[in-house]
Amino acid sequence: MADPLAIDVRGMTKRFGGRTAVNQMDLQVQRGEVCGFLGPNGSGKTTFLRMLCGLLRPDAGSGTCLGYDVIGQSEAIQREVGYMTQRFSFWEDLTIAENLDFVARMYAVPDRRRAVREGLERLGLSRRRHQLAGQLSGGWKQRLALAACLIHQPQLLLLDEPTAGVDPKARRDFWEEIHQLAGQGLTFLITTHYMDEAERCHRLAYILDGRLLAHGTATEVIRQARLTTWSVRGPRLPQLAERLRALPGVRQAASFGTTLHVSGDDAAALEQTIAPLRTQEHEWRRIESGLEDVFIHLMDRSGTQGPS
């Protein structure tokens, strides 16, 4: 436990054929931290997680995971890591209890029966223990997967979109559980596409085209983006958005229910642009940029300028 970093890797690179899925990525995650791992589809999140737990061999890069060498000590890492795959990967022709039992055997968990029973109870699976995994609904499958990757009491959890398709109540319970475990010293690296979940993380890592674009607490990430955002309320917002997007200084105009968020990275230019539009018809208000504004901005910027 001397090493305060659960994950400490540098220059991690993975190429598939000609294309680079993960490009020179550095990442440090403290022990006991819940780190949100964000990025658009195909940005390399899953690939990065797979490299950490030895499922893919990095083309370049070095570092440690739980103090073990990520290149040479995959087996030691695997014993202390719980990896939840993006796609459900448990055995559909085994029951919940049988799946957990199998996993517990594979990790040689001491007092296996108790571990399985506790795993079932913790995620409310006890009543369904004899149900075949293949017959569970999506949300229950996710719970099974989480229960299974906790059963050997790992130090680090790599969760790949663990709450995709899970109802709000279950998601809340899930995050409560995660914070409780983090309080006990477990480390989490969790990919998600949900902003509310991103806000629940201690720190965030934002990845785009295989590169780490932003890393820090939510506030830090927002501040680093230097984004100015205005909210507009009023009639015919879609038409307004259309007009705004063509104007200088406007990086994005996105609808949020009844309001429109207009942002740009040059505050003065943006203010100048919108000045003539600030009529009686619409109510304009300068607001704090949110995570979503920032992420969409990061995504768009790469589209026009390419990754910096």
Partner 1 sequence: MTRRRAFSPARFWAIVVKEFVQMRRDRLTFGMMIGIPLLQLLLFGYAINSDPKRLPAAVLLADHGPFSRTVLSAMRNSDYFDFVRQLHTEAEADAVLARGAALFVVTVPANFTRDLLRGERPALLVEADATDPAATSNALHSLRTAVDTALAADLQGPLAALAATPGPVELRVHARYNPEGITQYNIVPGLMGVILTLTMILITGLAITRERERGTMENLLAMPTRPSEVLLGKIAPYILVGLIQVGVILLAARILFDVPMAGDLGLLLAATLVFIAANLAVGITFSTVARNQLQAMQMTFFFFLPSMLLSGFMFPFRGMPAWAQVLGEGLPLTHFLRIIRGILLKGNGAAAIAPELWPIALFAVLALTVAVKRYRQTLD
Q: C-alpha 36: how far from its chain's center?
A: 4
Listed in sequence order, the residues at least 6 apart from 204 whose beta carbon sits closer than 8 Å to its beta carbon are 35, 36, 37, 38, 198, 214, 215, 216, 217, 218, 221, 291
Q: Which of the stretches 92-100, 113-121, 183-191, 281-289 binds partner 1 when contact is defined by CB under 8 A?
A: 92-100
Q: How far apart are the C-alpha atoms of 216 and 296, rounded to whole Å? A: 17
72 touches, from Mg ion, partner 1, ligand ATP, none (C-beta below 5 to 8 Å by class)? partner 1
The residues facing 167 across adjacent strands are none
Among positive and negative, which fits the CA dihedral 240, 245, 248, 251? positive
Binding to partner 1 (CB under 8 A): which residues in 100-139?
Answer: 102-103, 105-108, 132
Smallest gap from Cβ 45 to Mg ion, in A, equals 5
**Residue bearing tokens 């319970």:** 173
Q: How far apart are the C-alpha atoms of 45 and 258, rounded to whole Å? A: 33
Binding to Mg ion (CB under 5 A): which residues in 101-160?
Answer: none
Our finding on whether 94 is near partner 1 (CB under 8 A) is yes
User: Site for Mg ion (CB under 5 A): which residue of 86, 131, 224, 302?
Assistant: 86
Binding to Mg ion (CB under 5 A): which residues in 23-82?
Answer: 45-46
75 touches, from ligand ATP, partner 1, Mg ion, none (C-beta below 5 to 8 Å by class)? partner 1
Indicate the pairing of strand 34-38 with strand 68-69. Answer: unpaired
Binding to partner 1 (CB under 8 A): which residues in 45-84?
Answer: 50, 53-57, 69, 72-76, 78-79, 81, 83
CA distances in angstroms from 244 to 48, 157, 231, 249, 263, listed in the order given: 37, 43, 13, 9, 10
Smallest gap from Cβ 195 to ligand ATP, in A, equals 15
Binding to ligand ATP (CB under 6 A): which residues in 42-61?
Answer: 42-47
What are the E-state strand segments in the chain? 5-16, 19-30, 34-38, 60-65, 68-69, 81-84, 156-160, 187-191, 203-208, 211-216, 228-233, 252-256, 259-264, 283-287
44 touches, from partner 1, ligand ATP, Mg ion, none (C-beta below 5 to 8 Å by class)? ligand ATP
Smallest gap from Cβ 76 to partner 1, in A, equals 6
- Closer to ligand ATP by CB, 30 or 86: give it: 86
Q: How far apart are the C-alpha atoms of 58 and 214, rounded to whole Å? A: 22
User: Site for ligand ATP (CB under 6 A): which residue of 28, 62, 86, 273?
Assistant: 86
Instruction: Please give the residue ranges that form the binding site for ligand ATP (CB under 6 A).
Output: 16, 21, 39, 41-47, 86
Instruction: Please give the residue ranges that form the binding site for partner 1 (CB under 8 A).
Output: 16, 50, 53-57, 69, 72-76, 78-79, 81, 83, 85, 87-94, 98, 102-103, 105-108, 132
